[in-house]
Amino acid sequence: MHYWQAAQGVRVAGDSWGNPSGPLVILQHGGGQTRHAWKRTGEVLGEAGYHAVALDARGHGDSDWAADGNYSQNAMVEDLVHILAALGGRRPVLVGASMGGGTSLVAAGEHIVDVAALVLVDSAPRVEPTGVRNILAFMKRNPNGFGSLEEVADAIASYQPHRERPKNLQGLSKNVRLGPDGRYHWHWDPRFLYSDRNLDGRQNRLESCARALAIPTLLVRGGMSDVLTDDGVQQFRELARNSEYVNITSAGHMVAGDRNDTFGKAVVEFLTRKVPVAGAELQADRRAELINRMDTDDLNDIP
């Protein structure tokens, strides 16, 4: 576990895997998640020779809450710039899910960061307002917290009925914090829910970013997602002409958590072609061995 000083005095937490001299891969989670959503992906990337770093966004997980409640896209991009400088200013691969995908696309498309490759996970300029409302409605439930991890598991199961209920409830403790009231609360600043969400403005900005992409780009969609639809994928691919696309049919919006094995395989395959590890090639049988080790038992991520 690491801490870095980001923008506006916010301290950002993260985990890392692999060889620090390998190609740098930054993993950015979605709104309401934590860096732990990337654990298995980070391990596999690390064993493949990459230096994988998963961040807790400001206001999430073990990162500081913003004193002024600023959880804008600009603030998160600025945090990313600070962290990359602290990591030596190397040219990174950016992997972003949902909110983290928007941060990554702005950083790459507006040339704020010199990016080697981009992976967007169920994130594109055009998202469905109904899907976004469903996420926010879930996040606003239980404002007074939960009396036990069983109650946390019940809430997640009601929102994600397609996912197997976790066998080990202790894994859920990564996504909640025990408050002074003795109850469990989600591990993010409640003010995050009330940040400005101008979807039209977001779409216009991200469309411009997508048009400007000239780097290897992979878009991964969860086939059951109600946030990114086939129309949103088609529009992105028309804007980013050289992008590649993978549809993980049995996953929802939280692709890495729903089908970590398939997601990991897609990302490793893409990166070994586009940003290979210097001096070594990951053989197909070794790659399969790494992917087979990925499971979802402790990936109790939330939207």
Of 74-83, 223-232, 257-266, 292-301, which has the strongest mean pLDDT?
74-83
Is residue 62 assigned to a domain?
A: yes
Is residue 297 assigned to a domain?
A: no
The whole-number average pLDDT for the span 241-247 is 94
Is residue 299 assigned to a domain?
A: no
Q: Alpha-carbon distance 39 to 9, whole Å?
A: 26
Is residue 148 assigned to a domain?
A: yes
pLDDT band with cut points at 50, 70 and 90 for residue 57:
very high
Q: How far is CA 80 from each of CA 14, 20, 97, 159, rounded to the nearest angstrom?
A: 12, 18, 15, 30
Q: Is residue 279 helix, strand or coil? A: coil
Determine the structural domain holding residue 283 and report its residue range: 2-292
**When comparing pLDDT for 49 and 164, which is higher?**
49
Q: How far is CA 91 from each of CA 75, 191, 265, rounded to the nearest angstrom?
A: 20, 33, 23
What are residue 177's DSSP bridge partners? Answer: 185
The C-alpha R_g of the chain, in whole angstroms, comes to 18
The whole-number average pLDDT for the span 142-161 is 90
Is residue 303 assigned to a domain?
A: no
pLDDT per residue as tens digits for the range 197-229: 788 899 999 999 999 999 999 999 988 899 999
pLDDT per residue as tens digits for the range 245-262: 999 887 777 777 656 677
The pLDDT value given to residue 240: 97
Is residue 45 assigned to a domain?
A: yes
pLDDT per residue as tens digits for the range 161-197: 767 776 778 878 888 999 999 999 999 999 998 877 7
- Strands annotated E in the chain: 2-5, 11-17, 24-28, 51-55, 93-97, 117-121, 176-178, 184-186, 217-222, 244-248
Give the amino acid at 243.
S
pLDDT band with cut points at 50, 70 and 90 for residue 286:
low
- Domain with residue 175: its CATH number is 3.40.50.1820
What pTM did the predictor assign?
0.90
pLDDT per residue as tens digits for the range 103-134: 999 999 999 999 999 999 999 999 999 999 99
The DSSP line for 232-262 is: HHHHHHHHSTT-EEEEETT--SSHHHH-HHH
Angle ∠(178,181,185) on CA atoms, nearest 5: 40
pLDDT band with cut points at 50, 70 and 90 for residue 296:
very low
Q: How many domains does the chain have?
A: 1
Q: Alpha-carbon distance 21 to 52, whole Å?
A: 11
Is residue 300 assigned to a domain?
A: no
- Mean pLDDT of all residues belonging to the chain: 89
The whole-number average pLDDT for the span 76-91 is 97
Is residue 52 assigned to a domain?
A: yes
